[in-house]
Structure 1
Amino acid sequence: MSSAPSLDVVPIIRSQLLEEFRNNKNKRYELKDILHHVVEFSGDQHGSRFIQQKLETANSDDKQMVFDEILPNCLQLMTDVFGNYVIQKLFEHGHQSQKTILARQMEGHVLSLSLQMYGCRVVQKALEHVLNDQQAMLIRELDGSVLKCVKDQNGNHVVQKAIERVPADHIQFIIDTFHGQVYNLATHPYGCRVIQRMFEHCLDTQICRLLDELHRGTNQLVHDQYGNYVIQHILEHGTVEDKEQIIGKVQGHVLQLSKHKFASNVVEKCVSFGGSQDRLTLIDEVLRTRSDGTYPLMTMMKDQYANYVVQKMLDVADGQQREVLVSKIKPYLPGLKKYTYGKHLISSKWQGRVELVYC
């Protein structure tokens, strides 16, 4: 029986200069010492690190030398595990003319670079350091593939960077692509990040329709493992009107939502970032006595998720409302020791305050 062919490991062939560089720790090398070997060094772990460090303080002649050697091979290096870092350093520390020429080499390749593990980092760096007209030219290449990028583990970072750094009028086509897609994106592991960046950086006139879409899906999004982060983001950074819309949908459901793994985070943010009247209403809801003499707070103190909402309420409540909260919690502190999650409330920093009020 014939055996399977052996897979020979292809040896890495290095120039004598690179071998000496890797093996000689005592000699102090400068960029001029690797003339005609810049590309080879850029593709080597140690050589790449050397060039990166030197570019940070290099003079104009040394930067030009590195640039001249890199340019014919720059596309290959942009997707290389070590070479991409050298390209990034040129975007950071090169002259503006060099950055412009480097970015021109990317034209026609922005989509493929954006979807590649290392290329996406170079595209992001380019968007940070080239001028506005070139930013617009590069990002326009994603038109027609925006959703593909948003849902890609590499491409989503490029779209986020574009939203953060490119002037609003140049990324309108990205915003237009999101119309009718907000719920789908907000519930996607990468899309939820992009949606958050959009609400952070885009103009109110650009996002008003998208916010309306978001509000229509709030009841579902608060329960979603990704969507809840988008709702939390609006509660932290949104307008008063947007916060009130979300809090209005939480009111009347505080107990149910507080016991949910993801929705409980939203309730905490409602308590933290709502207005004083909103906070009063939410806390009053869990203190309201039911027909059987119990109240929601009793259940929440023992729940694995809701106990954190109680802690947040103690954190933000003030005056008489806080005293009422404390008075309701204190009789149950000894009994909470029997519950795994009740212990969280006992051991939290708030127990000292609870006892302080009644000592």
Structure 2
Amino acid sequence: MTTPPRSADARASVEQESPVVPPPPPRFIPPRRFVNLTEENRSLINSLRSATSTLQETDTCMRSLRNLMTSEEDGGAAQFREVILELDAAGLRRMAWFLTSHSGYFLTIARNKNGSYRLQKLLGKSNDVDTLFFAAFFRSFLDIMTDKEASFVVVQGLRVFSNVMKEALFPHIIEHAVDLACDQHGCVALNRSITVLDDPYCRTFFLYAVVVNALPFSYHAYGNFVVQHVLDLNDLQCTRNIAVNLRGHCVELSFERYGSYIMEKLLDTKESMVVVVEELLKCEGDRLVRLARGTYGNFVVYKALRVTQAEIVTCGDLFWGLVNKLKPFRDLLGASYSYTIATLLDSID
């Protein structure tokens, strides 16, 4: 049996249901915004294009370059962008050379908010430029990493540098890990550096520096934030290594403000949780009660009870061990700090 041909009306209906889709409109590219360069910056471009310069011309160039990198006047950001667009690879390399030729000069610019931002924009422009910046980082690593604004430049470098350059910085990181982690701005820079390193091999060096110093960091007002940051990465091997390095100090750390933060983080992972709870169980009953009644320790004890209760099937011995050590001292746990612990104990049959 043959299929009858479609009628003209049917064909018209199909055509209406499947209209021809027109091609997308051409992408609009806005015209380059005209920026009227200042006379100083026009002269700077000419100096950067020149292969040679007198001592006086060099001084003038470096003064103008510092103004370009740090100034907010005369549309500083727009002036900077225009200068970069005007320069070829050789000009950018010469610009980077001037910026990094003297450590003090480089630090002055890097410590300025505008200077830091504009230095970051130069990173990744070419391998030659990156090499010059890398050398500057190498000479003044600690000074840069412990400055609020300058540290952003190194972090950006870790994003764009080749792995060879990154690995060459690792000895500095290991050497200065304690100084960085225990500094107000250095600890933030260290955490940012760990975050931006997406290569597992490169990140390992940073994590190693934290793991081997986990104990002193855990007592420190700034260092503890670095340990917490690493634990938040949920790297099970790294978490286990930190727990092992803190073994024997868990109870003592739980009494401390900063140390208690670390103990609570370790209780979030089963493998490290076992290390903490087993140590709590080893301490004398009166010491455990003092910890449970303490300003900071009560949070650790309560969380230890909660997480072991949640894992009752596999951690029942740990949970009941804590309960049995605390139950005889129930009447001492009614104070404000230990109220939640007392309430939990009362809820257990």
When the two structures are superposed, what TM-score results if normalisation uses the length of structure 1?
Answer: 0.62
Change (3 A) 1:315 1:78: farther
Change (3 A) 1:228 1:154: same
Change (3 A) 1:314 1:103: farther
User: Post-superposition shift, 1:238?
Assistant: 6.7
- Give the match for residue 174 of structure 1: 169
CA RMSD of aligned residues (A): 4.2
- Give the match for residue 114 of structure 2: 118
Equivalent residue pairs, number:
285
Q: Deviations for 1:289-330, whole angstroms, at most 9, x for unmatched residues?
A: 73xxx2654223321111222343355332324763678778
- Give the match for residue 57 of structure 2: none
Change (3 A) 1:95 1:242: same
Change (3 A) 1:155 1:61: closer
Q: Deviations for 1:234-263, whole angstroms, at most 9, x for unmatched residues?
A: 323274333222212333332211111211
- Give the match for residue 49 of structure 2: none
Match of 2:311 among 312, 319, 327: 319
Q: Work out whether residues 174 and 206 of structure 2, in 8 Å CA contact, stay in contact via their aligned partners in 1.
A: yes
2-structure distance, mates of 1:298, 1:85:
62
How does 1:246-285 map onto structure 2 within 5 Å? 246-272=242-268, 274=269, 276-285=270-279
User: Post-superposition shift, 1:115?
Assistant: 2.6
SS in 1 for 2:184: coil
Match of 1:76 among 67, 75, 89: 67
Show structure 2 runs of 5+ residues with no match: 1-27, 43-63, 101-105
Q: Does 1:164 align with 2:164?
A: no
User: Post-superposition shift, 1:109?
Assistant: 1.7
How does 1:95-110 map onto structure 2 within 5 Å? 97=85, 105=95, 107-110=97-100
Change (3 A) 1:170 1:67: farther
Q: Work out whether residues 293 and 335 of structure 2, in 8 Å CA contact, stay in contact via their aligned partners in 1.
A: no
2-structure distance, mates of 1:281, 1:240:
14
1-structure distance, mates of 2:304, 2:75:
48
When the two structures are superposed, what TM-score results if normalisation uses the length of structure 2?
Answer: 0.64
Show structure 1 runs of 5+ residues with no match: 1-56
2-structure distance, mates of 1:280, 1:243:
12
Identity of counterpart residues, as a percentage?
A: 20
User: Post-superposition shift, 1:124?
Assistant: 2.5
2-structure distance, mates of 1:233, 1:305:
20
Change (3 A) 1:257 1:187: same
Q: Work out whether residues 300 and 307 of structure 1, in 8 Å CA contact, stay in contact via their aligned partners in 2.
A: yes
User: Post-superposition shift, 1:114?
Assistant: 1.0
Change (3 A) 1:133 1:83: farther
2-structure distance, mates of 1:287, 1:300:
12
Match of 2:143 among 125, 130, 148: 148
- Give the match for residue 10 of structure 1: none
2-structure distance, mates of 1:355, 1:95:
70
How does 1:178-257 map onto structure 2 within 5 Å? 178-200=173-195, 201=197, 203-206=199-202, 212=208, 214-237=210-233, 239-257=235-253
2-structure distance, mates of 1:75, 1:58:
32
- Give the match for residue 25 of structure 1: none
SS in 2 for 1:225: coil
SS in 2 for 1:264: helix
2-structure distance, mates of 1:249, 1:61:
57
- Give the match for residue 35 of structure 2: 66
Change (3 A) 1:270 1:80: same
1-structure distance, mates of 2:29, 2:86:
14
1-structure distance, mates of 2:131, 2:97:
11
Tell which structure's C-alpha radius of gyration is larger: 2
